[in-house]
Structure 1
């Protein structure tokens, strides 16, 4: 603990000499709040009713009924800390909002503007956690140049198109969660290991999707705080083996993490409801892909299966080679039930018609393999940059190869990597590819015409502004080679292709009610976005992986 305090004190003493007033996020946050307030009465998804129902559950029922209640199909399926958060919000509901039907426990809620405004306001105010965390991240910078880079990172996340689309139009509370993640990242940066462990444990108690990032946090804390791999030649092998583990640090960290989970889950342990709670958190009956394919490896796999079906049906010469190579059941292709729904990502078991069917075990093994690959360099070199890079690659692995991945999970990749890219311009190209494809892939979430211009224009302006600013704060090295420039140009052309993708899919959306062929191809626009963005996200993953495993200088701590 003493080393932890000393290192923190030294960092804080250095940071106090840096003037960070000119890098304040207040103006940006206030402007963003006004924009979000203007969007309050616009479109919201069924997630709005989900959270309204959770308010009703936590307000009207005792705690031992929260994870049993199923009057509505929108049952409570987040960890206990989020349920406590909903309980707090439900007890702050004004009387006129209660009268509007906000807290009625019914199968389908009936509510008006008071409920909409109240719930929208809770999302905006809860995002203050993100603002505070990023403000602290900037203030803890050790130099003016570092503060400037931190400001660009912080403002880009405050104004993130992902948060605007998912939280403030679609409706969720991701801003608060990612604020907790920023606290984890900055505590790791300042070597506040105990605080890092506490905030991550608390984050998992709010939303379990962050388990995807847990391996990187675990290895970083283990290697940098709990293990002592320095061999003392003056001591015996037995002594060195005994001191391989820093027992005091391990006990302190373990008590904090276990204590956090214990306090969070205590009521449900007392009522013996852990099995029911876990069943809600991990519903394995869902299919490989979501109703809208996330832009990952399985979207491309599903598209390939569809493409092979068309080839098989329309090109007779292809049938024998396809049958001999893939050995599929030919009779299934004539079954309308399988032909229409088998790979569309509906909830339930998925059967591919030509390609081999993917099992949860396979997705788990693929995710685990690529996460372990990202953890090995972190274990060898537990620097802050390695930690953030490993966080990003763990997010990539789970997003690209996980089971039933939502498109919204792309933020698990974008947020950690945003803290890394200002360290070296070689990371900017894969990052530009990631954010452009990642944010465009969220467009189908907001399918109403009145929000079309907002989502497209806002994302485009964000990309232009922050592409310039990231390049401005990160020096371009003089040793760029020709093939790097060629690759950059190709990726820039690919990103420009997103304009064509958005234009084509918007035209399909506009004319699908007028042309019968477009009515039959209702999933076409989603396939175009998922597959095109999927190739982009995979390309970005390859770029970051190459940098992580080959360019060691990027991830070495700089004085």
Structure 2
């Protein structure tokens, strides 16, 4: 629905002359790169196009299982072991103890500190595992168990959760956000997303279940794109109920839904707002039901809440590529500021970091609602609440801004948390052309994110998986980190960063750290990775403003798009008339397009958000600048 103009309606796209523009032949040559694109093209030529998706999913599952053949977090390191043992221990305590004891039992040994949905899924996995072999989950007696059979079962639970939740969410996303693109492009995007290296190394190597949280969030985003806001709200609350890190997305999700309420006007907007509020509260209540009256006193809610938000841990525990660890090299935050002050400072910086995305989203929703109000009132056409908000193109950027702000500035961040902002960034990359800024930045940040987790993966014994998966993923997407295509600033930045990464790996291999600086290599890793993540955060804010301006949500009223915000998929208004509007440049168009930004003369690519800048319609063609 939100991808590109349907083939029957698609005008010829003429790329405006600019330093980043590509000729048709250059663009074709660019698209020819990458193992994924070449393989899907070959499959289509062989008449096997209907087998591609299933083979992509099977290939991704094989790669995930191969990663799982290696070691995992805490293997052979008593007495606490690592994340693998924490997840196994939660399975045993949930199947042996009453629910009220889940968050209070032996907190010194991997006390449960994730929201209730994690506990429920741990209980289910524990029940099945205990049925196979009770010794795997014998309370207190199976601590640190590392038998081959128990490892196979634990690895299988991660793959099963991924297959049941994350993989369908990716397929749903590609079909809903890129539905008007060619099947080959959708299949390439699917393979790009399913083999995201950082996520695979952490979940299937280090050992976690992040794909459950990310899959539920992605499902909510796809529901919003389909106009199913209440289902999307339920899916996002479920994501929050599985892992508290989903809060990184909450400002973006919340501002999108509020912006839609604003765009609908007072009566319909208020109705949708109360429906969303009731749905959200009801879903949270179901998740926390065992700790609520009449099953428990209201004070029992403090048990899970106190464990889910552990402010007592301190600002950071390890070397993480965020603002606090990088600046701590000079400022030594924990020496001259106490924990309560640091909590307040980190909260303030985090809020300031995501505030631009929230403000732009809300203001754009309000402006577009006002711009369309006159047309709706004159024709007495009710605004369709079952359609996405006109600010939907802003959502991927808002998700990136919000999550990256939390990663850079919030309290007690782990290096694995970079997976949260990587999701929206990889979604943006998945359908972009190889020479676009979005693609280059997405590839750079994915690679640097894996590099930033190097010392964690090295401790886990995953060096081989680290190198192999980076090479595989870059080959599949058609990205050569050591090749400069256009001699742009982004190319030079990438080659410099990659060169330093390689140099640090070589030095760490052949030069031991000095005795007075034992953490020199982790610190240098942080100092290299943090600026890359900071640039990405600033870029997401810039793109949010640009896309909002292109949609008509910023600027003067005379330049706002004057149109009903969302006509039908056939390009017609409810009264059967085609869309006729005035673009920001004052050019009238009646292309009969299915979303407001397309009809306004804006080129959309991949996610259905505006990837280019404002364009003009002339002689039946669209002139667009690449980002």
Q: TM-score range by the shorter chain?
A: 0.7 to 0.9
Map residues 1-400 of structure 1 onto 2, 5 A cutoff.
22=50, 24-45=52-73, 46-70=82-106, 72-95=108-131, 97-99=133-135, 101-106=136-141, 108-128=143-163, 129-140=165-176, 143-145=179-181, 147-224=183-260, 226-228=261-263, 230=265, 243=266, 246-269=269-292, 270-272=295-297, 273-291=300-318, 293-305=319-331, 350-351=334-335, 359-382=342-365, 383-400=391-408
Partner of 2:536: 540
Task: Specify whether residues 126 and 501 from structure 1 end up closer, same or farther in structure 2 by C-alpha distance, changes over 3 A only.
Answer: same
Offset at 1:448?
A: 4.9
1:491 to 483, 491, 494: 494
Offset at 1:389?
A: 0.6
2:117, 2:102 → 1: CA distance? 12
Does the Cα contact within 8 Å between 1:183 and 1:196 map onto a contact in 2?
Answer: yes
> Match of 2:458, SS?
coil
2:440, 2:216 → 1: CA distance? 27
Task: Specify whether residues 107 and 496 from structure 1 end up closer, same or farther in structure 2 by C-alpha distance, changes over 3 A only.
Answer: same
Task: Specify whether residues 367 and 191 from structure 1 end up closer, same or farther in structure 2 by C-alpha distance, changes over 3 A only.
Answer: same
Task: Specify whether residues 246 and 44 from structure 1 end up closer, same or farther in structure 2 by C-alpha distance, changes over 3 A only.
Answer: same
Task: Specify whether residues 362 and 106 from structure 1 end up closer, same or farther in structure 2 by C-alpha distance, changes over 3 A only.
Answer: farther
2:480, 2:102 → 1: CA distance? 46
Offset at 1:539?
A: 2.1
Task: Specify whether residues 399 and 71 from structure 1 end up closer, same or farther in structure 2 by C-alpha distance, changes over 3 A only.
Answer: closer
1:150, 1:553 → 2: CA distance? 28
Offset at 1:89?
A: 0.8
Task: Specify whether residues 486 and 33 from structure 1 end up closer, same or farther in structure 2 by C-alpha distance, changes over 3 A only.
Answer: closer
Partner of 1:426: 437
Task: Specify whether residues 182 and 427 from structure 1 end up closer, same or farther in structure 2 by C-alpha distance, changes over 3 A only.
Answer: same
> Match of 2:288, SS?
helix
Task: Specify whether residues 435 and 467 from structure 1 end up closer, same or farther in structure 2 by C-alpha distance, changes over 3 A only.
Answer: farther
Does the Cα contact within 8 Å between 2:397 and 2:543 map onto a contact in 1?
Answer: no
Q: Deviations over 1:14-50 (max 9, x none)?
A: 99xxx99558432222223223333434211100110
Task: Specify whether residues 554 and 415 from structure 1 end up closer, same or farther in structure 2 by C-alpha distance, changes over 3 A only.
Answer: farther
Does the Cα contact within 8 Å between 2:201 and 2:465 map onto a contact in 1?
Answer: no
> Match of 1:522, SS?
coil
Q: Deviations over 1:62-101 (max 9, x none)?
A: 11111111165200011111111111111101555323x3
2:339, 2:105 → 1: CA distance? 38
Partner of 1:465: 476
Partner of 1:416: 424
Offset at 1:303?
A: 1.8
1:400, 1:452 → 2: CA distance? 26
1:465, 1:228 → 2: CA distance? 41
2:445, 2:201 → 1: CA distance? 17
Q: Deviations over 1:331-358 (max 9, x none)?
A: xxxxxxxxxxx77xxxxxx3259x9997
2:506 to 503, 506, 531: 503
Task: Specify whether residues 187 and 146 from structure 1 end up closer, same or farther in structure 2 by C-alpha distance, changes over 3 A only.
Answer: farther
Does the Cα contact within 8 Å between 1:71 and 1:105 map onto a contact in 2?
Answer: no
> Match of 1:145, SS?
coil
1:137, 1:402 → 2: CA distance? 29
> Match of 1:67, SS?
coil
Does the Cα contact within 8 Å between 2:92 and 2:126 map onto a contact in 1?
Answer: yes
1:463, 1:256 → 2: CA distance? 41
Determine which structure has the larger helix proportion and give its number. Answer: 1
Give structure 2 stretches of 5+ with no counterpart: 8-43, 74-81, 366-390, 552-595, 600-627
RMSD, matched Cα: 3.2
Superposition TM-score, scaled by structure 2 size: 0.69
Q: Deviations over 1:166-204 (max 9, x none)?
A: 111110001122111110121122222111111001111
Partner of 2:464: 453
Does the Cα contact within 8 Å between 1:228 and 1:245 map onto a contact in 2?
Answer: no
Task: Specify whether residues 358 and 71 from structure 1 end up closer, same or farther in structure 2 by C-alpha distance, changes over 3 A only.
Answer: closer
Aligned residues: 470
1:427, 1:160 → 2: CA distance? 16
1:181, 1:79 → 2: CA distance? 15
1:199, 1:401 → 2: CA distance? 26
Return the structure number with greater relative CO, CA threshold 8 A, min gap 6. Answer: 2
2:167, 2:550 → 1: CA distance? 27
1:440, 1:151 → 2: CA distance? 27
